[in-house]
Amino acid sequence: MEIKFFPYDFEYKVKEDETFIYLYGKLENNSKICVIEKYRPYFYAQVSNIHRKQLNKRLSDLQIEDNKKIAKVTSYEECEKELLGKKKDFWKIYVNYPKAVPIISKELSQWGLECYEKDILYTHRYLRDREITPFTLVQAKGDFIDENRFRVPVFLAEEIKQFSKDRLKNVKLLSIDIETYSKNKIIQMDKNPILMIAFYGRDEKGKEFKKVITWKKFSEKKDYLEFVNDEIDLLNRFRQIMIDYNPDILTGYFSDGFDLPYIKTRAEKYKIKMDLGLDYSEIYTGSKYNNNNLSNATSKIKGILHLDIFKFIRNIFGKNLKTESYSLNAVSNELIGNSKHDIKIEKLADTWDNHPEKLIDFCEYNLHDAHLALQLFEKLFFDIIEFTKIIGLPSDDIIRMRFSKLVESYILQRAKEYNVIAPNKPAKNEIEQRFEETYEGGFVYEPTPGLYEDLIVFDFRSLYPTIITAHNIGPEALNCDCCDDKEKVPGKDNYWFCTRKKSFLSKVLERIILRRVDLKRLIKESNEEEKLLLESRSYALKVLANSFYGYMAFFGARWYCIECAKSTTAYARDYIQSTIKKAEEKQFQVVYADTDSCFLLLGDQIMDQAMEFMNEINFNLPGHMELEFEGYYPKGLFVALKGKEGGAKKKYALITKEGTLKITGFETVRRNWSPISKEVQQNVLRMVLEDKKEEALEYIKEMISKLKSGKISKEDLIIKTQITKDLRSYSSIGPHVAVALKMLEKDIPVGPGTIVEYIITKGSGLIRERAKMLEEVKQGEYDADYYLNNQLIPAVSSIFLVLGYNEEDLLGEGKQEGLGKFF
């Protein structure tokens, strides 16, 4: 019989010398299913100069003991494939189970054979070979079989193929979050119990499911609240809820390294079988989950797709965010405009022991955290889906990848189509060598400090990707034999790239670029919901395209090519520098440039002339390269490097016609600056860019006198610094450490990760002796001189210097030379 289903979770099992892939998913009627198919593991060996008859004999005799198993070769096929641009003969060698691949290939390497694709994960290999895309409709021919140890029907497939691009739209989501007993910020899974578990789910129809279970009773009642007797009951109840609710996707925030390992640890302690897998298997956690290295732990439940949304944010999506911290609170604030509940989680243990009547606040908090994780997941689900579909690997692997791995996975996906064999990962000594390599990056034009008007900013769209494709950059094309008389890389006389045969990498990259061009057109024509999905797709493709350049210089890359990376930046420098030159030839004054952008002054010319200049540049650009008009800014400020003559690179502020500030490189966003410095810096920048120089001077003087007279509210003076290690191990006691020690004396828990907030107060002695907690400080008790010299003045001095005022001018101490000079 024939069935169609949407697979989204994958594993394999070895049964009596045969290996089966298990594809968990849903039928079109929303019911769950597990489809299994036999699949044979293999790798490649290069046999170009090998005595084949002899090899055949040796392979058939080969048997290697591996625990109780015997690894052996089952068969082989001859094939021709391309390795780094050269066609070579290979044997595709099949072995009797997946883990025999590394064992057999290692032995063959010792025989002197070059082995390839011997470390491709088995499920990944399967998905690529079968061309199956997770979350989309797949057809299977075969029959249902009796498997009593399964929570869902099992279908044994004889044939599986992708049926259509239809995507699974109805998913049942569940987010979980636990709160645990912890007295001193130290997390000890083996010692401290789980106190409560929150669930926040949404089913296929959008119906919500909310629940918090806890094992301390109190009088407050809530619909979602359920009491159990003890931690054992809590764990059993958790198991039952998971089984009953039966989500397709489970999420959480750091559930990979915290919630699931914690639950597993506690369940093991009480010998409770946490057999949540659809095959009754227990929660799987990466082996190192309890020895202090949780940050890359993985937790899986077979058949239920567990996607820790923190992982996707930390590894991939976080690069779009402004936040420096990937804490649930910071991320939720930025992405969904929602904060965690404002309670002191460090008081939970005490409340649990001594004030159970107040536990309701913690239950609310618990549920809210689960809700936040669910909302984050829903916000990013399209992005995860699109990355998954484009790369064609399981989502739970995708979200755990960094950019280099994403790109490599994408390239590997294409390798099969182009009959390309993947080069091996570098060995240890090779990696060490690669680490040594450094090279020149983008070109940055040193600005002359000043306040400029009528700035036009142009930038090259996707500069590095378009250079790579336009100049056919890639390992196979580097210094080819066929065209060494051709164009050399600018400034690199010993590098050139083939102009006859396209390199595999640039072909792959070009396809991404073209797909994005298509998508942009589609997005314009599509409705709102479709648009969101297509934008996610476009974003995923953009991330991939932009990662190619970095990938070629990445030490772990299979298609590593440092010459390619060097050439890419060399071309980029050449393009931006020649753009600057041409702009100057056209009588535009260039004030700044950085890698792919160029800032010029309109001067006496009109916008049409600037556009004409851009069109002329574009006329001569190869491939998909394009210089774009980024914007017009009435005013722009470039400041000097502290204590130096020259202009600071990557530090400037622009204002748009509409009055929006574009600030780059200034301190306004950093944590260890007090709110007052940030605010003053922003205001001064705005006034200067709005051409209100005198107003800015008056403003700063007013703020200085306000500060001096003690009128700044203490909240605006808080400096925040994070405690990063155990307090005793600090050898130099900075103000934040001194305050942390005071907090400890007052029984306020402090440990690594605590952000200490303090104010520097008046008096004599060391700064650290005058650093105090907010509540200790009376209004106006702060040390005005400290704030002036270490916060306010440093935040604005470089800006005023451009206007001709030095620090004395601001402080009203010196003569006001600036006025005469500039107005």
- Contacting positions for DNA (CB under 7 A): 12, 41-43, 98-99, 101-102, 117-123, 125, 177-180, 182-185, 187, 195, 253-254, 257-258, 284, 286-288, 293-296, 298, 310, 325-329, 345-346, 348-349, 369, 397, 402, 404-405, 554, 556, 722, 724-726, 730-732, 749, 752-753
Nearer residue to DNA within complex by CB, 310 or 460: 310
Q: Least distance in Å: CB of 177 to DNA?
A: 6
Query: Which residue blocks in 62-145 are alpha helix, DSSP H?
Result: 100-110, 122-130
Q: Least distance in Å: CB of 200 to DNA?
A: 13
Q: Least distance in Å: CB of 734 to DNA?
A: 7
**Residue pair 685/666 in contact by the 8 Å Cβ criterion:** yes
Residues 6+ apart with CB under 8 A from 54: none
Nearer residue to DNA within complex by CB, 287 or 527: 287
Please report how the helices 403-417 and 504-525 are oriented relative to each other, as an axis angle in degrees rounded to 10: 100
Nearer residue to DNA within complex by CB, 153 or 286: 286
**Residue pair 667/681 in contact by the 8 Å Cβ criterion:** yes
**Residue pair 557/431 in contact by the 8 Å Cβ criterion:** no
Nearer residue to DNA within complex by CB, 469 or 568: 568
**Closest Cα partner for 413 from 128, 750, 720?**
128
Nearer residue to DNA within complex by CB, 253 or 549: 253
Q: What does the buried/exposed string (b/e) look like for 354-381 if buried means 16 or more CB atoms within 10 Å of the residue's CB?
A: eeeebbbbbbbbbbbbbbbbbbbbeebb
**Residue pair 572/596 in contact by the 8 Å Cβ criterion:** yes
Nearer residue to DNA within complex by CB, 348 or 374: 348
How many Å apart are CA 770 and CA 766, to the nearest integer? 7
Nearer residue to DNA within complex by CB, 57 or 402: 402
Burial class (CB in 10 A: 0-12, 13-18, 19+), 173: buried
Nearer residue to DNA within complex by CB, 567 or 754: 754
Nearer residue to DNA within complex by CB, 745 or 813: 745
Q: Least distance in Å: CB of 431 to DNA?
A: 9
Q: Which stretch of DSSP H or E encloses residue 699?
A: helix 693-708
How many Å apart are CA 297 and CA 254, to the nearest integer? 9
Q: Least distance in Å: CB of 62 to DNA?
A: 17
DSSP notation for 485-535 = TSPEETTEEEEEB-SSS--HHHHHHHHHHHHHHHHHHHHHHS-HHHHHHHH
Q: Least distance in Å: CB of 753 to DNA?
A: 4
How many Å apart are CA 316 and CA 400, to the nearest integer? 9
Please report how the helices 328-336 and 360-391 are oriented relative to each other, as an axis angle in degrees rounded to 10: 70
Q: Which stretch of DSSP H or E encloses residue 650?
A: strand 647-655
How many Å apart are CA 770 and CA 467, to the nearest integer? 56
Q: Least distance in Å: CB of 821 to DNA?
A: 33
Nearer residue to DNA within complex by CB, 216 or 511: 216
**Closest Cα partner for 126 from 168, 91, 162, 165?**
162
Q: Least distance in Å: CB of 369 to DNA?
A: 5
Q: Least distance in Å: CB of 347 to DNA?
A: 8
- Ramachandran area for residue 17 (φ above 0: left; ψ -120 to 50: alpha; else beta): left
DSSP-derived secondary structure letter, 81 = E
Q: Least distance in Å: CB of 692 to DNA?
A: 34
Nearer residue to DNA within complex by CB, 51 or 670: 670
**Residue pair 237/267 in contact by the 8 Å Cβ criterion:** no
Q: Least distance in Å: CB of 21 to DNA?
A: 9
Nearer residue to DNA within complex by CB, 671 or 706: 671
Terminal C-alpha separation, the chain? 87
Nearer residue to DNA within complex by CB, 99 or 662: 99
Q: Least distance in Å: CB of 46 to DNA?
A: 16
Cα–Cα separations (whole angstroms), residue 616 to 338, 470, 573, 592, 621 = 48, 18, 19, 20, 9
Please report how the helices 693-708 and 675-689 are oriented relative to each other, as an axis angle in degrees rounded to 10: 160
**Residue pair 540/392 in contact by the 8 Å Cβ criterion:** no
Q: Least distance in Å: CB of 34 to DNA?
A: 18
